[in-house]
Amino acid sequence: MEEPDVQNPSADEDTEQEPLVNSLDIFLLSLIAGLLIYWFFSRRKPQDIPDFKRLTPTVVTPARETSFIEKMKKTNRNIVVFYGSQTGTAEEFSNRLAKDAQRYGMRGMAADPEEFDMSELPRLTEIDNSLAIFCMATYGEGDPTDNAQDFFDWLQETDDSLEGIGFAVFGLGNKTYEHFNAMGKYVDKRLAELGAKRIFDLGLGDDDANLEEDFISWKEQFWPAVCEFFGVEATGEECSIRQFELVVHNDINMNQVYTGELGRLKSFENQRPPFDAKNPYLAPVTVNRKLNKGGDRHLMHLELDISGSKIRYDSGDHVAVYPTNDMTLVKRLGEVLHVDLDTVMSLNNLDEESSKKHPFPCPTTYRTALTHYLDVTNPPRTNVLYELSQYAADPTEQENLRKMASASPEGKALYQSWVVDSQRNILAILEDLPSLRPPIDHLCELLPRLQARYYSIASSAKVHPSSVHICAVVVEYTTPTGRVNKGVATNWLKNKTVNDNGHKSTVPMYVRKSQFRLPFKASNPVVMIGPGTGIAPFVGFIQERAWLKQQGKDVGETVLYYGCRHKSEDYLYQEELEEFERAGVLTQLNVAFSRDQEHKVYVQHLLKKNKEHLWNLIHSKNAHIYICGDARNMARDVQAAFHEIAEEAGGLTHSQAVDYFKRLMTKGRYSQDVWS
């Protein structure tokens, strides 16, 4: 009975309590609002869709061309020079070969295999009179360089036919290493197996002797072979061809100018992970102490703070640091060339299609370029001397520069004695040839890039997760011309005080992974041989073995063979090592003091002295052997000592002993972290 009352209220109620908006009004207002909203969005749709479509190409179109074939077609190139480079030398050689091609009426381009799809190599036949050249450096224990790893993997896996493709390979290696030029040899062999035609013999450059001379000799015979292959002749004498043009910026916002950054502008001010070769981390120096107690050398221990950087490392990894050149040397270059080093400039590639727009980050100042980006301390290569010769006003000086750049025996001998043996850098050459005054922009174009320096990390992340430790010796010597040459990185590190006028000293760095690893099973014994600063990775190894022991792990024998000149002068980390021995972490600490007695004693002598114990560890207990330090002498002598141990304690013949340790290398039980 109450329902009709709700639907039909009395007149009095209507007058006194009628709402301002009834149900019908609400319905009508909702309908109108809905129609307005529909009209509003339907009206905007035609504008939204084109906007969205305009944005799409920037998302899906790749930022760079990954097809070297299409790039060669677009830029009318017929020669491509790929490089596998770790320190920049192979890249430099590739650029020189690409430039040489112009002398023969051809057009070449240097290419980083990491930036292109190498599976397109079979398509090279689409380009008439085409040729692929490979400048391949070998890194580590016969490995490809970082930028050639993917190419190496593809070569191993592919069955694609390379029939109809002409190729040539120049390898860059060092005979002091076990796997001399392994990468160059592999690429040469594998390309031929896949059907490609070798148009000239494999070149094997040896950095232990004279890599530059090896390259010059190879390419002087290589180009005639190319001419014969294509049926062409040289267009004339070698001439100077500029690759970059100078632009001086008289009115520029200094916030747009590079001040030493390697990749992103202002990356040193606004640091963002991940940190790598193009984006190093500015690590504060928290410790910088001298390690040796006497002698005329300076051996040092530095600690770099990586807390908050998200950088991770393992014992045995390398830390790469980016040094700067000595400011005194840079200032002197400016004085000799009579230039304002603070001029802001850019060097722009004349080839607009090139992926390499500048030789180093631009715009920048000459001072920054010579301090941060260019190598001004190593003896210049012959191509630099040839290009500079045109600026020598004295005919005799010009003739000698061109002679040193030639492939003649007389020219090679002059370059070897006057540049290499005399250890003349670019400043010394300019000082000793008073008529040679090249434009500074051309000099900056010609000089190679200043490279990162690598050090074996002297700490364990298990013990020091927020710091990376470096052990190094400062390089400084007098040259035959009476000048004092200083190692770029070590002298720069030496001067990195913990507190620099109230500011923290920082080091641009990143971590490079290594195969130099402790055994997976902690119970495996380890035998470490590391004289001098070769002790560095083993400090980390021992710290880690101590940490594992603290965790209750079964840790095998930990044996160290270390060597230095004098116990009282340069016994590095003596207190730490002796403490590890007392704690039972180091089960054997063997130290050779080479000059504390009449006859010199080295680590290999101590190894042979303990031959029975070592052979038992290696042959019966699955020990892992690690060697760090000088490759030219120490690593060879140590390997020869192990061969003798296998012969005398194991009863093997010499050839059996050699094969035995080669097998250990293959199994990862004989590892080397060596340098020459």
Q: pLDDT tens-digit profile of 327-342?
A: 999 999 999 999 999 9
Tell me the pLDDT tens digit for each residue of 352-385: 878 889 999 999 999 999 999 999 999 999 999 9
Average pLDDT of the chain? 90
* pLDDT for 48 beyond 60: no
Determine contact, residues 124/69, Cβ cutoff 8 Å: yes
Which band of pLDDT confidence, cut at 50, 70 and 90, is reported for residue 53?
very low
Identify residue 380 by its one-letter amino acid code. P
**Direct distance between the N- and C-terminal alpha carbons of the chain, in angstroms, rounded to an integer:** 108
Q: Name the helix (H) or strand (E) containing 648.
A: helix 634-648
Looking at residue 199, its pLDDT comes to: 96
Looking at residue 138, its pLDDT comes to: 95
Looking at residue 103, its pLDDT comes to: 82
Q: How far is CA 70 from CA 65, 73, 114, 352, 356, in A?
A: 8, 5, 16, 15, 17
Q: Name the helix (H) or strand (E) containing 672.
A: strand 670-675
* Among candidate residues 409, 376, 429, the one with its CA nearest the CA of residue 213: 409
Which band of pLDDT confidence, cut at 50, 70 and 90, is reported for residue 50?
very low
* pLDDT for 169 beyond 50: yes
d(CA 423, CA 481): 8
And the tokens for 327?
A: 């400011």
* pLDDT for 254 beyond 80: yes
Percentage of residues of the chain with pLDDT beyond 90: 81
And the tokens for 552?
A: 């209750």
d(CA 498, CA 48): 57
- Between 21 and 536, the more confident residue is 536
Looking at residue 241, its pLDDT comes to: 78
Looking at residue 352, its pLDDT comes to: 82
And the tokens for 379?
A: 């003896």
* pLDDT for 6 beyond 50: no
Instruction: For residue 612, give the 3-state DSSP assignment.
Output: helix
Q: Taking residues 502-518, report their average pLDDT.
A: 93
Q: Taking residues 608-631, report their average pLDDT.
A: 97
Which band of pLDDT confidence, cut at 50, 70 and 90, is reported for residue 642?
very high
Looking at residue 177, its pLDDT comes to: 85
Which band of pLDDT confidence, cut at 50, 70 and 90, is reported for residue 176?
confident
d(CA 99, CA 349): 13
* Among candidate residues 540, 529, 585, 625, the one with its CA nearest the CA of residue 315: 540
Q: How far is CA 64 from CA 61, 67, 263, 361, in A?
A: 9, 9, 16, 18
Instruction: Give exposure, 9-39, as e/b (b: 16+ Cβ within 10 Å).
Output: eeeeeeeeeeeeeeeeeeeeeeeeeeeeeee
Q: Compute how many other C-beta atoms are within 10 angstroms of the C-beta atom of residue 298.
A: 16
Please, what is the Cα angle at 455 between 638 and 171, to 5 degrees?
70
d(CA 152, CA 158): 10
- Between 284 and 66, the more confident residue is 284
Q: Name the helix (H) or strand (E) containing 624.
A: strand 624-630
* Among candidate residues 196, 204, 120, the one with its CA nearest the CA of residue 154: 120
Determine contact, residues 195/162, Cβ cutoff 8 Å: yes
Q: Burial of 136 by CB count in 10 Å (0-12 exposed, 13-18 middle, 19+ buried)?
A: buried
Q: How far is CA 641 from CA 245, 526, 606, in A?
A: 57, 17, 10
Residues annotated in a binding site for NADP(+): 297, 533, 594-595, 600-604, 637
Count of H helices and E strands in the chain? Answer: 22, 25
Instruction: Give exposure, 640-658, as e/b (b: 16+ Cβ within 10 Å).
Output: ebbbbbbbebbebeeeebb
Q: Compute the radius of gyration of the chain from its Cα atoms.
A: 33
Q: Taking residues 509-525, report their average pLDDT.
A: 96
Looking at residue 19, its pLDDT comes to: 45
Tell me the pLDDT tens digit for each residue of 554-602: 999 999 999 999 999 999 999 999 999 999 999 999 999 999 998 999 9
* pLDDT for 530 beyond 50: yes
Q: Taking residues 623-636, report their average pLDDT.
A: 94
Which band of pLDDT confidence, cut at 50, 70 and 90, is reported for residue 237?
low
And the tokens for 394?
A: 């004295």
Residues annotated in a binding site: 85-90, 137-140, 172-181, 207, 297, 453-456, 471-473, 477, 487-490, 533, 594-595, 600-604, 637, 675
Which band of pLDDT confidence, cut at 50, 70 and 90, is reported for residue 609?
very high
Looking at residue 49, its pLDDT comes to: 37
Residues annotated in a binding site for FAD: 453-456, 471-473, 477, 487-490, 675
Determine contact, residues 100/110, Cβ cutoff 8 Å: no
Q: Look up residue 425 and give its DSSP letter.
A: -
d(CA 417, CA 79): 35
Any alpha helices (H) in 101-179, and if so which ranges? Answer: 149-157
Which band of pLDDT confidence, cut at 50, 70 and 90, is reported for residue 61?
very low
Which band of pLDDT confidence, cut at 50, 70 and 90, is reported for residue 236?
low
d(CA 614, CA 355): 54
Residues with catalytic annotation? Answer: 456, 628, 673, 675
| CA 270 to mean position of chain CA atoms | 23
* pLDDT for 37 beyond 80: no
d(CA 641, CA 643): 5
Looking at residue 7, its pLDDT comes to: 33
Determine contact, residues 638/627, Cβ cutoff 8 Å: yes
Looking at residue 507, its pLDDT comes to: 98
And the tokens for 506?
A: 């920082």
Looking at residue 56, its pLDDT comes to: 37
Residues annotated in a binding site for FMN: 85-90, 137-140, 172-181, 207
Which band of pLDDT confidence, cut at 50, 70 and 90, is reported for residue 93?
very high
Looking at residue 235, its pLDDT comes to: 65
Q: Name the helix (H) or strand (E) containing 16.
A: helix 11-17
Tell me the pLDDT tens digit for each residue of 299-329: 999 999 999 999 999 999 999 999 999 999 9
For the ranges 103-107, 128-132, 386-390, the lowest mean pLDDT is seen at 103-107
Identify residue 625 by its one-letter amino acid code. I
d(CA 263, CA 48): 36
Percentage of residues of the chain with pLDDT beyond 70: 89
Long-range contacts of the stretch 352-358 (C-beta < 8 A, 24+): 353/71, 353/74, 353/75, 354/109, 355/64, 355/65, 355/115, 358/244
Which band of pLDDT confidence, cut at 50, 70 and 90, is reported for residue 140?
confident
| Cβ neighbours of residue 6 closer than 8 Å, sequence gap 6 or more | none
* pLDDT for 238 beyond 80: no
Domains in the chain, please, with CATH? 68-230 (3.40.50.360), 271-322+452-514 (2.40.30.10), 324-451 (1.20.990.10), 526-674 (3.40.50.80)
Looking at residue 355, its pLDDT comes to: 80
d(CA 148, CA 172): 13
Q: Name the helix (H) or strand (E) containing 135.
A: strand 131-139
Q: Which of 91-100, 170-179, 648-657 has the highest mean pLDDT?
A: 648-657
Looking at residue 9, its pLDDT comes to: 35
Upper half-sphere CA count for residue 640 (Cβ side, 13 Å): 10
| CA 641 to mean position of chain CA atoms | 33
And the tokens for 123?
A: 């398509």
